[in-house]
Amino acid sequence: GGEEVTGARALTLLTVATCVTLSCAEPAPQPVVPSPPPATTSAPPPATDTPDAGAAATSPAGSRRVVAIDVSSKGNRLVASGGPCVEITRAGRDDVSAFSEKHVRCIGAGRVRALLDDIDRAIGGASLSEVAPGGAPAQPDGVRVTLDPGGPRTVQAPDALRAVNKVVESFRSTLLSERPRVGRPVAGGWTSLRVMGPAALAGRADGVLDVEITSGGGYVCELVSRDDQGASRQTQGGEVTPEVASELLGRALANAKPSTAPPGPVTVRGLKGEAATVLAPASTTAALDATATFLTKAGGACAAELRRTAETPLDKAKRAAAAGKHADVRRLLTPSVLEGKGKADAAEVKLLRAACEALKDSKCLIRLKEKHP
């Protein structure tokens, strides 16, 4: 749910849902949002303020609008513009390791506009400092807004900074606690679909992907992983129309059969209210195939590649080699190849030799040559 998770604790969670943009045979779904209010046509010319003058945005309310924000405070950052999505990131270090989080929510242009208006009210008549063209990005702790008219500005007044951070923290906490809403059941009585299993995004270690798609049109995806860079948690969520969601669930769960055997690496559950049914292997494959295009188009965590079958050490080593992670290649293949335990595969020997050479590990090469001349 909305609990903020960092470091090693993030790896124990299998709860956050996953985001997807429901559409296999149809065009990529768009978030369902109310139209933003029309732009004012009677705004006066922008103020001719400068950082030295300190009179950036003191014009009366309604003469300019905040159209984008970049707010950073204590390792948290929220970025939003006039589009339908907001991005929330967090990075730091706990008692165990470094951690990073990235949450994208496509909540609709109307709701984003409401946030920007709240920020505008929080700033009030406080003076803003103009940002020079090509100026530095927002500070680790700071507030940058883009005005229309007026362009980029930074908030400097302490009272305004506190007010903006209060609005952003409340919004962030509420947004990350929200769950996809359930709508009317589709054929068969299904109300939502859950997918969970090992997965990875390019450049990151394998993690656990958790996806939820509901008949109400809500979706959310979470990928939790750890590698030598630390713990990572990525989520993405949003909404499509109930009609699009129902059509997707109808195809994914058509003729779904319950499993009578232990699930494989990837588990798919169909839910009727709170009652969950683990799908049989054939039904699992059908559901994954039906949702694959939707998830890919959704992007972010939803686009993580699910490992539908159990990977061998060689499979993992090949991926590590392709990513240039030679230390991982050695870790994965050393027991069976370098130490000569079990039957060595020619591909394993080739991968390990390349890793030893890349690491400039002469001892590794000598031992490898002794075991596999």
- For position 343, what pLDDT does the model report? 65
- For position 289, what pLDDT does the model report? 96
Q: How confident is the model at residue 302 (pLDDT cuts 50, 70, 90)?
A: very high
Give the distance from CA 87 to its chain's centroid.
Answer: 9
- For position 323, what pLDDT does the model report? 76
Q: How confident is the model at residue 351 (pLDDT cuts 50, 70, 90)?
A: confident
Strands of the chain, DSSP E: 65-73, 76-80, 85-93, 98-106, 128-130, 142-148, 151-155, 192-200, 207-214, 218-227, 230-239, 267-272, 275-278, 305-306
- For position 247, what pLDDT does the model report? 96
Q: What is the DSSP string of 310-347?
A: PPPHHHHHHHHHHTT-HHHHHHHHIIIIIT--SPPPHH
**What is the mean predicted confidence (pLDDT) over 125-133?**
85
- For position 137, what pLDDT does the model report? 55
Percent above pLDDT 90 for the chain: 51
For residue 327 the two structure tokens come to 């230390």
Q: Given a cut of 60, is residue 220 above it in pLDDT?
A: yes
d(CA 210, CA 233): 11
- pLDDT-wise least confident of 215-224, 292-301, 329-338, 364-373: 329-338
**What is the mean predicted confidence (pLDDT) over 286-307?**
94
Q: What is the pLDDT of residues 319-337, one digit of tens each?
A: 778 778 888 888 877 777 7
Higher pLDDT among residues 193 and 19, named by residue: 193
- For position 205, what pLDDT does the model report? 64
Q: Given a cut of 60, is residue 304 above it in pLDDT?
A: yes
Q: What is the pLDDT of residues 31-68, one digit of tens each?
A: 433 333 333 333 333 333 333 333 333 333 457 899 99
- For position 316, what pLDDT does the model report? 79
- pLDDT-wise least confident of 110-119, 136-145, 324-333: 136-145
Domain ranges of the chain: 46-177, 187-306, 313-371
Higher pLDDT among residues 54 and 209, named by residue: 209
- For position 14, what pLDDT does the model report? 30
Comparing CA positions, the residue from 138, 149, 140 lying closest to residue 56 is 149
Locus of tokens 């849902």 = 17
Task: Find which of 4-13, 40-49, 134-143, 316-325 is predicted with most confidence, using mean pLDDT.
Answer: 316-325
Q: What is the pLDDT of residues 273-291, one digit of tens each?
A: 999 999 999 999 999 999 9
- For position 77, what pLDDT does the model report? 95
* 300 residue type, one letter: G
Q: How confident is the model at residue 370 (pLDDT cuts 50, 70, 90)?
A: confident
Higher pLDDT among residues 107 and 340, named by residue: 107
- For position 342, what pLDDT does the model report? 62
* 24 residue type, one letter: C
- pLDDT-wise least confident of 10-14, 210-214, 246-250: 10-14
3-state secondary structure 65-127: EEEEEEEEECCEEEEECCCCEEEEEEEEECCCCEEEEEEEEECCHHHHHHHHHHHHHHHCCCC
The highest-level CATH class for domain 187-306 is alpha beta
Q: Given a cut of 50, is residue 352 above it in pLDDT?
A: yes
Q: How confident is the model at residue 138 (pLDDT cuts 50, 70, 90)?
A: low
Tell me the average pLDDT of the chain. 80
